[in-house]
Structure 1
Amino acid sequence: MSAALATAAVATHFAGPWAWGPWFLLIPLFWIALFVILFAVFGRRWRRSAAEIGFGPHGRLNPTRQAEVTLAERYAKGDIDEVEYRARLEVLRANAAS
């Protein structure tokens, strides 16, 4: 009889409505919190690096940065010399500051 009661007690303990206790809620909350933290850290890092490069809010380069990239490409191809490159770059940056 005592073995039957012990078996029933163990079965009730493990098969009750709250068999997992608070862990049932804490484990999903842990994973949700982990993903939120990872997204916050890496999302902020990506947005900061995109802003440093000169990307706008929609992933496109802003017009001033695009003009500088085009000018650098022309200089790399040999279309313009260093003096002209520096002069045009100075004009672009002066107009961007205004």
Structure 2
Amino acid sequence: MMFWYAHGVSGWGWFGMSVGMILFWTVIIAALVLLFRAVNGPHEHTHTTPAAPTPEQILGERFARGEIDEEEYRRRLDALHAGPLTKS
């Protein structure tokens, strides 16, 4: 009598052990791949906030949406480029 038959393991037992071994190695390999990717992969998850739009960009967006006409756009753009207002 062979050694493995003496322990009372049936065909379903061998099937279960085979599936368990395959799952075990699948989990180990997946963990190693994920660890490798985490260490060597590009770091895309930077926590930078997008830059706030400039006043010229906001004015251009309002003009593009039709909220202001060209005359008002030019007037406000000139006011932005003229610098801060000074009190007399």
Range into which the TM-score falls when normalised by the shorter chain: 0.3 to 0.5
> Which of the pair has more CA radius of gyration?
2
TM-score normalised by length of structure 1: 0.33
Structure with the largest fraction of helix? 1
